[in-house]
Amino acid sequence: MKKEIYQEIEIPEGVGVEVTEGLVKVKGPKGESERKFNAVGLEFKKEGNKIIIGNKKATKNYKKIINTFASHVKNMITGVTEKFEYKLKVCSSHFPITVEVKDGEVLIKNFLGEKTPRKGKIPNNVEVDIQGELITVKSVSKELAGQVAATLEAITKIRNRDRRVFQDGIFMTSKSGREI
């Protein structure tokens, strides 16, 4: 059954939004973000201080796509007003782990006594701050911040050893304001 489905997103004060053929650019006090949406068959427009996403003859699949796009745009608006922040903790019981940022990479040295450091790349729009055992990842984009945090966690995953004994690694403690 087809029916008219529209999703309206409120634009807060101090945030500028441009919408042109599926490309959404959001500028705010903390930075700017842009994303290209494949909006075939959808109306994607800005009216006043609202962004309207929808279709006059929408099916269930269009409804899913509309809600997904609306969530992405809300995350973009939230990101430019207050950055997304992920917190991680360095845990070591056998060997002291050293973590440092150098030339757009995170170097994890002496993990399980290894001689070569483990490396993880940091995209341009992501800030990584290391203070002792706490690592803070901040970005305007929720996807980029989450990906860097997940990469740091995955780099230090221990394989072929007993997890009850070898509990070293880097672990997430909070995701964008939510404790884990």
pLDDT digits 0-9 by tens, 118-155: 999 999 999 999 999 999 999 999 999 999 999 999 99
> What CA–CA distance (Å, rounded) separates 107 from 14?
37
Beta-ladder partners of 119? 107
pLDDT digits 0-9 by tens, 56-80: 888 899 999 999 999 999 999 999 9
CATH 2.40.50.40 fits 84-179, yes or no: no
Give residue 64's pLDDT: 92
Average pLDDT over residues 147-172: 90
Q: How many CB atoms lie within 10 A of CB 156?
A: 21
In this chain, the answer to whether the domains covering 3-81 and 84-179 adopt an identical fold is: yes
Q: Which of 28, 31, 129, 39 is nearest to 86 (CA)?
A: 129
Report domain extents, the chain. 3-81, 84-179
Fold of 3-81: Outer Surface Protein A; domain 3 (3.90.930)
Q: How many CB atoms lie within 10 A of CB 169?
A: 23
Say how many CA atoms lie within 13 Å of 179 toward its Cβ. 0
Three-class SS of residue 11? Answer: coil
